[in-house]
Amino acid sequence: MELNAKSDTTLVAANQLLTSYKDAYATQSVHGFYYSVLQFMKYILANAKTNQISYEQQITDGGDNSHKYLYDKILLMLDFTPADQRHFTEDFRNLKRARVEADYSTGTFTMEQALDYRLLADGLRALLKRVSNDKIN
């Protein structure tokens, strides 16, 4: 299964978790929203027309700091305008921090709060699709 398809299903699963169980699993859904974006980033890098980075290479090169590695590589590959790069960076950092809070802190998210992160994930995926459109196979 290609990672763009996995990204889609991760988003659907996180959304389902949120809409079916509301506050009960809202915290876990934030995890899914973030990883949906990360999987799409991996797909772009693995399917780039130039300077393609295979999934295996991404794992090897990313090492212990794989998320930062993916973020840096996406910036290099997609050649964002400053406004798009700002949008991407701000929302990615915001979502990433929420994911860390969701997974590793004692705090929890309500459904209402998690919905904000779904919007961030939707926006990030749409931005990545638009900017990568002519750069991937």
Partner 1 sequence: MTKIEIENDLRQQLEMLLVKYPDATFRYAYDDKRKVYLVSDVVDVNRDDYEQYCGDVLRVEDELNDRYGFDAPLFTSNERSFSLPMDASEVSLQINYMVEQLLKSIKIFNKHTTVDDTYSLTYQVPQTYMTSGIDGCSMGEYAEAA
* Interface residues toward partner 1, by CB under 8 A: 81-83, 85-87, 89-91, 93-94, 97, 100-101, 107, 116, 120
Helix 3-21, helix 26-46: angle, nearest 10:
170
Length of the chain: 137
Q: Tell me whether residue 76 or residue 100 sits nearer to partner 1 (CB atom).
A: 100
Q: Tell me whether residue 20 or residue 106 sits nearer to partner 1 (CB atom).
A: 106
- C-beta of 59: minimal distance to partner 1 in Å? 23
Q: Rounded CA gap, 99 and 15, in Å?
A: 15
Q: Tell me whether residue 49 or residue 68 sits nearer to partner 1 (CB atom).
A: 68
CB contact at 8 A, 109 and 25 = no
- C-beta of 73: minimal distance to partner 1 in Å? 16
Q: Rounded CA gap, 117 and 102, in Å?
A: 11
